[in-house]
Amino acid sequence: MRYVGHAEQWDEVFINGNLDKPEFLAFYLQDSKIMAVAGVNRDRDIAAISELMRQQRMPDAKAIKNESINWLNLLTTNN
């Protein structure tokens, strides 16, 4: 498991992927903002998310729920 960000509090956890496999990203959300992400078997996505967080370029919660995001493409195409 990998973890990026920091969430002392959250009002929702959104799961992208399959907990049974296990291969997923768990987004810890507070007021529609992504505070932290935990990932299992999604190391490349977590690396891209970590860099997007560092650059303060993370999408909002609505975007991650409504779209299938390619995190590596998001990192490289929106400089």
Where do the structural domains in the chain lie, given as residue ranges?
2-77
pLDDT of 41-55, one tens digit each?
A: 999 999 999 999 999
Task: Give CA–CA dist 32/42, Å, rounded.
Answer: 22
Task: Give CA–CA dist 45/60, Å, rounded.
Answer: 16
pLDDT of 10-30, one tens digit each?
A: 999 999 999 999 999 999 999
Q: Kindly report whether the global pTM for this prediction surpasses the value 0.95.
A: no
- Of the chain, the percentage scoring pLDDT greater than 70 comes to 97
CATH 3.30.390.30 fits 2-77, yes or no: yes
In this predicted structure, the answer to whether residue 67 has a pLDDT above a threshold of 80 is no
pLDDT of the residue at 24 = 96
Residue 35 near residue 10 (C-beta atoms within 8 A): yes
Residue 49 near residue 71 (C-beta atoms within 8 A): yes
Whether residue 22 has a cis bond before it, omega within 30° of 0: yes
Cα 57 to chain centroid, rounded: 12
